[in-house]
Structure 1
Amino acid sequence: MLSVRDLYVSFRTFGGEVQALRGVSFDLYKGETLAIVGESGCGKSVTANTIMGLIPEPAGRIKNGSVLFKGKDLTKLDKSKMRKVQGVDISMIFQDPMTALNPTLKIGEQLTEGLRTHQKVSKSEARKRAMELLEVVGIPNPEERMKQYPHQFSGGMRQRIVIAIALICEPELLIADEPTTALDVTIQAQILELFEEIQERTGVSIILITHDLGVVAKIADRIAVMYAGKVIEIGTKREVFYSPQHPYTKGLLASVPRLDLKEEELQPIEGTPPDLFAPPIGCPFTARCPFAMEVCDRIYPGTTDLSETHAVDCWLQDERAKRLFDK
C-alpha cells in the first residue's frame, strides 16, 4: 500500500541546514500495523508529516526520494491534489489532542467538517455518521456530546474524538503520532484496544509513531527502528524484540524497566545523538556504540538482509566485516 524510498528531508534554519531524514526506506502492507520507534529527534514525526504532505515550506523541503501510496508518488502532487488525499485516503492522529482540536468550535462541527468537505454529504447525513463514530470510539450520549466544546472532555475522551475525526472519511492508512503519550496507563490500554477493534472492523493500515516499547509490543506487526534520520533496523515484532541485531536496538530494549527483576538498575544508552547540522559520514551510532570499529566511523554500513522480513544497517552483521574478522 505504501512504499517510502530513499527519502531525504532537510530544514533551513539560521544556524544552517538540519538533515532530518537521510535516506529513509520502508514498506507498509494492507491491514498491518508498522511501529516507528526511536529517541526524540530521530525523524519519526518528520517521516509522518512528509507522508501527509505537511512539511512547512520554504524552510522544509524534500531533497530526494519518493512516497508511493497505491502507486502514486505523493511528493509530486501539488497542494490541491494532496488535499484530496489528506483526511480521505490518509489520516493522521496528532500527538496532543488539545492542540489538535479547535477550542472555539463544538465537537460536532469539527467531526463533520471533513466529511462535508470531501464527500459532499448533507448536514444530517454527516451528523448521523459522526454520532455513529462517537459510539464506535466509546463516547456515550453522542447526541449531547456533539454540542459540547473540547474543554468539556477529559484527555482520554479528547483523544478518542481526534481518532473519530481521523476515521470519519474511512481512510485506508492511519498515521498515529504518539497517540498515548499524555494519557494515563488505564486510558492508554483502552486506546490501544480501540485501535485493534478499528483495524479488525475496517482493515485500515496503521503507522504508529512512538518511543514506548510497551505500546509497540501490544499492537505492532512490524517495527522500524530510527536513529539520526535513518531506519537502522526493521523486522517483525518477534524478530526485533527477541533477536535485535543493531546495538542501538539492543540499547533501547535494555533501557526498559523490568518488573520481574528485583533491585534492577536502569541501563541508559550513554552519550547523545549526533548533530544533524553536520551528521557523521559513517554509522551515526558510532560514538555511543560499545562495539564500534574503525570502519564504523568512516563508512556507513550497507543494509544486511537477515531474513525476508528482517534487515539491519550495521557493520557487525556485514559480510565484508565478518571476512576481516575471519582473517
Structure 2
Amino acid sequence: MPILEIKNLHVNFKTYGGEIQAVRGVNLKLNKGETLAIVGESGCGKSVTAQSIMRLLPKTSAVIKEGEILFRGADLTKLSDKKMRKIQGNGISMIFQDPMTSLNPTLSIGTQLTEGIRKHTSISAPAANKKALEMLEIVGIANGKERLKQYPHEFSGGMRQRLMIAMALICEPDILIADEPTTALDVTIQAQILALFKEIQARTGVAIILITHDLGVVAQLADRVHVMYAGKIVETSDRRDLFYHSSHPYTKGLLQSIPRLDDVRGELLPIGGTPPDLFDPPAGCPFAPRCEFAMDVCRNHMPAETAVTQSHTAACWLLDSRSKNVFQELA
C-alpha cells in the first residue's frame, strides 16, 4: 500500500488577470523507502505539487480546486491547520531550494535544529541537543558541539545544505521532499549530497520525493520518475526506461538537451518554443505547439495515459495504434 497517494490534484492561483491553472490533474503514488523524482522545466508545477503536499501554499491566492492527497489514510487537503502542523516536519519534511534563505540568520544552528523535535515531542532540552549532535554526525558535520553554537553565515553552501537535511530528518519522518536540493552547489559538493541521500535512505528507510530539472541527479537517485509539463504528468516510468525507452516527445527533448561526452557534434538540441499560457491552457496536448510530430488530434484533444509497459505510461497520441507509423519514426 502506498505511503502517499495523490489523486487528480488541481491547484489554481488567483491573480488580477484571472486564475493560473498551475497543477492540472496530477496523480502519483509513493511507496515506503523509494525515491520518486518529478522532473520538468521551470514553471511546470513540480514545486507547487510538493508545497501542496506540505500545505505551504499561500492561502490568499492558492486554491486546491479538486483532488485528494492521502497520507496514512488521511486526506491532507481536509485536515485542520492544527492537525496539519503535527504532520509537517514529523510525518513529512521538506528541504527547500536555497538553504541560506531557509535558515534564520539570527538563531544559532542548535536552536534551529532542536526546534522541530521539541515541538513535536516531549523530549527534554539535553536529549534534544544529543539528538541534534547525532544528526550532525549522520550528515557529515564534525565538531558538533561547537557547530551547534554557530550561525548560518559561518557555514559554506554545502554545509548549509547538510544542515537542512539534518533539520528535515531530526524528527524521523516517513517522507522527505527535496526541492532542487543541489541546484546552487558545485559538482563536487553535489556528488557528496547525493551520496548522503543514499546513505540516509539506506539507514532510515525514508521515502523521498525529489523535485529537480537535473536528469543527472535523477540517474543517480531515482527509482521511479514522473515527467511534468504545463501542470500535467506526461510520462511515468522507472529510471532505466526513462533514459533508454522514453516515449513522450517532451521527455525525448529533455534527454537530447543534456550534454554528453560521447556526442562528437558538441551541440545541444534545445526544445524550441515556449510553454503554454496556463491562464488559458490548450484544449489538446499542452506540448503540441512545440512538438514536431504534432497532429490535428494533438491540438484539439487531450491524450489519455497509455501503457507502454506494465510500469511505464505516457500521455501521447503517438502511442495510439492509429499513429503507429509516425511513432516508429520517433523511436
TM-score calculated relative to the size of structure 1? 0.97
Tell me which of 69, 75, 79 is aligned to 2:81: 79
The 5 A counterparts of 1:136-285 are 136-285=138-287
Partners of 1:86 and 1:68 in 2: CA distance: 14
Distance in 2, matches of 1:8 and 1:246, equals 22
1:323 deviation in Å?
10
Partners of 1:106 and 1:146 within 8 A in 2 = yes
Counterparts of 1:160 and 1:68, CA distance in 2: 29
What's the secondary structure of 2:93's corresponding residue?
Answer: strand
User: What's the offset of the Cα at 1:318?
Assistant: 2.2
Which residue identity does 1:153 align to in structure 2?
F
User: Any idea what SS the aligned residue of 1:208 has?
Assistant: strand
For the residue of structure 1 that corresponds to 2:87, the secondary structure is coil
AA aligned to 2:220 is K
Measure how far apart 1:320 and its partner are.
Answer: 5.5
In structure 1, list runs of 5 or more residues that go unmatched: none
Matched length: 325
Q: 1:15 aligns with which of 17, 24, 29?
A: 17
Instruction: Kindly state the Cα deviation for residue 321 of structure 1 after the two structures are TM-superposed.
Output: 4.7
Match of 1:43 among 42, 45, 48: 45
Shift in Å at residue 322 of structure 1? 4.8
Cα deviation for residue 319 of structure 1 reads 3.6
| Aligned-pair identity (%) | 65
Give the C-alpha shift of residue 172 in structure 1: 0.4
Question: How far apart, in 2, do the equivalents of 1:282 and 1:76 lie?
Answer: 31
Residues in 2 aligned to 1:261 and 1:7: alpha-carbon distance in whole angstroms: 39
Query: Residue 264 of structure 1: CA displacement?
Result: 1.9
CA-atom RMSD in angstroms: 1.3
**Aligned mates of 2:109, 2:17 — CA distance in 1:** 41
Which of 61, 66, 70 is the matching residue for 1:59? Answer: 61
> Which residue pairs with 1:108 in the alignment?
110
Say if 1:43 and 1:229, in contact at 8 Å, map to a contact too: yes
The aligned counterpart of 2:294 is: 292
* Contact in 1 for aligned 2:293/2:326 (Cα 8 Å): no
Name 2:313's counterpart in structure 1.
Answer: 311
Q: How far 1:263 moved relative to its partner?
A: 3.6
CA deviation map 1:191-213 (0-9, x unaligned): 00000000000000000000001
Q: Which moved more, 1:68-77 or 1:124-133?
A: 68-77
Summarize deviations over 1:223-260 as a string: whole Å, max 9, x none. Answer: 10000000000010011110000000000000001112
How much has 1:47 moved relative to structure 2?
0.4
Contact 1:255 1:269 in 2 (8 A): yes
Question: Structure 1: how far apart are the matches of 2:325 and 2:6?
Answer: 32
Runs of 4+ in 1 over 4 A off after TM superposition: 320-325
Contact 2:92 2:174 in 1 (8 A): yes
Q: 1:24-76: per-residue Cα shift (whole Å, max 9, x none)? A: 00111111000100000000000000001111112101000011112211111
Query: Do 1:301 and 1:318's aligned partners in 2 also have CA atoms closer than 8 Å?
Result: no
Instruction: Determine if contact 2:6/2:26 at 8 Å carries over to the other structure.
Output: yes
Q: Structure 2: state its 5+ residue gaps.
A: none
Q: Aligned to 1:7, what secondary structure does the other structure show?
A: strand
Distance 1:133 1:248 in 2: 40
- CA drift of 1:309 comes to 1.0
Q: Tell me what 2:26 maps to.
A: 24
Q: TM-score, normalised by structure 2?
A: 0.96
Give the Cα–Cα distance (whole angstroms) in 1 for the partners of residues 72 and 226 of structure 2.
Answer: 20
SS at 1:306 equivalent: strand
Q: 1:324 to 1:200 in 2, by over 3 A?
A: closer
Contact 1:302 1:318 (8 Å CA) reproduced: no
Distance 1:277 1:252, change over 3 A: same
Moved more, 39-48 or 67-76: 67-76
- Asked if the contact 1:111–1:165 (Cα under 8 Å) also holds between the matched residues in 2, the reply is yes
Match of 2:128 in 1: 126
